[in-house]
């Protein structure tokens, strides 16, 4: 009998804990689901909309605190007067961007509708008219100069296209030494073009310093590229770095 009381007590505690866990789990799932989409919204409710088609209030000219000169029209912004960057810095995040490329039929290569999206001030995902040509590390969707997209998912110019990225910032120890490279997974127009790709260094200046946080920059490369519907969902800074499978090993 002496052992029955603690056993009964233990069972009661275990049952209470189990029920409490179910309630907490149920509440958290309910809250999460209800909060993320209340109806037919296209954008998750926990996203930060950094361009809603109306103004550039969340942007400045790159490297300054000045108001950008980009054109705002019909819900989009169009490159004019220098690259722009977010006022806010971010670390790791999901990012959605839509872009529209003009047909520049007389131009070739890097002169044909060039722009780009930079993560953490350092890593450019190339925006370029690359329709119908082989994927390459300087063409649309590439981690510029580092990694080509696995397939060419570009649509023809003069159509809206999209990038959806999952970007993880590099990590540093207490002394500032890098302990993990930046990483990115990415879709273009709903097609996976990068799967957890490591970004070992900045894309333009390979030896430039890297940071745990930074701005998103949209590049003015002298061509009238349009952007719309840009939103971001910051992720928890801590994450598990998955081992990269190595072919043949």
> Does residue 116 belong to the site contacting Mg ion (CB under 5 A)?
yes
Task: Specify the residue for token string 């002394």.
Answer: 175
Q: Which stretch binds Mg ion (CB under 5 A): 16-24, 112-120, 156-164, 171-179?
A: 112-120
The two three-digit tokens of residue 78, written as one number: 């169009």
Q: Which stretch binds Mg ion (CB under 5 A): 32-40, 109-117, 159-167, 187-195?
A: 109-117
Task: Please answer whether residues 115 and 179 qualify as being in contact, where contact means their C-beta atoms are separated by less than 8 angstroms.
Answer: no
Residues numbered 204-223 forming contacts with Mg ion, rule: CB under 5 A: 221
> Does residue 68 belong to the site contacting Mg ion (CB under 5 A)?
no
User: What is the Cα–Cα distance from 247 to 61, expressed in whole angstroms?
Assistant: 43
User: 109 has which bridge partners?
Assistant: none
Q: What dihedral do alpha carbons 62, 208, 246, 132 form, nearest 10°?
A: 40
Q: Which stretch binds Mg ion (CB under 5 A): 113-121, 130-138, 202-210, 222-230?
A: 113-121
Measured from the CB atom, the residue of 139 and 171 that comes closer to Mg ion is 139
Instruction: Name the closest residue to Mg ion (Cβ).
Output: 116
Task: Specify the residue for token string 């044909």.
Answer: 112
User: What is the Cα–Cα distance from 145 to 139, expressed in whole angstroms?
Assistant: 9
Measured from the CB atom, the residue of 47 and 97 that comes closer to Mg ion is 97
The length of the chain in residues reads 249
DSSP-assigned letter for residue 147: B
> Does residue 202 belong to the site contacting Mg ion (CB under 5 A)?
no
Closest distance to Mg ion from the beta carbon of 18 (Å): 55
Closest distance to Mg ion from the beta carbon of 203 (Å): 9
The two three-digit tokens of residue 117, written as one number: 């999206």
In order of 74, 134, 137, the CA distances from 129 in angstroms are 22, 12, 14
Measured from the CB atom, the residue of 114 and 147 that comes closer to Mg ion is 114
Size of the site for Mg ion (CB under 5 A): 3
Closest distance to Mg ion from the beta carbon of 138 (Å): 8
Give me the residues that bind Mg ion (CB under 5 A), please. Answer: 114, 116, 221
């Amino acid at each position: 009998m002496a052992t029955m009381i603690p056993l009964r007590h233990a069972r009661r505690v275990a049952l209470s804990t189990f029920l409490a866990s179910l309630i907490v789990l149920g509440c958290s799932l309910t809250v999460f689901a209800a909060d993320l989409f209340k109806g037919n919204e296209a954008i998750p409710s926990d996203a930060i909309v950094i361009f809603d088609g109306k103004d550039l209030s969340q942007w400045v000219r790159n490297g300054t605190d000045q108001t950008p000169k980009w054109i705002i029209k019909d819900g989009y912004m169009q490159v004019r007067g220098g690259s722009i960057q977010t006022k806010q810095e971010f670390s790791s995040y999901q990012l959605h961007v839509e872009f529209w490329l003009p047909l520049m039929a007389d131009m070739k290569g890097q002169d044909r509708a060039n722009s780009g999206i930079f993560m953490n001030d350092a890593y450019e995902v190339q925006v370029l008219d690359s329709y119908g040509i082989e994927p390459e590390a300087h063409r649309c969707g590439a981690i510029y100069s580092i990694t080509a997209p696995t397939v060419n998912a570009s649509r023809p110019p003069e159509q809206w296209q999209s990038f959806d990225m999952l970007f993880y910032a590099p990590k540093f120890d207490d002394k500032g030494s890098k302990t993990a490279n930046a990483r990115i997974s990415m879709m273009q127009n709903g097609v996976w073009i990068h799967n957890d790709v490591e970004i070992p260094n900045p894309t333009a200046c390979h030896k430039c310093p890297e940071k745990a946080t930074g701005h998103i920059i949209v590049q003015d490369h002298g061509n009238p590229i349009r952007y719309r519907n840009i939103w971001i969902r910051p992720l928890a800074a801590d994450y598990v770095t998955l081992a990269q499978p190595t072919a043949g090993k």
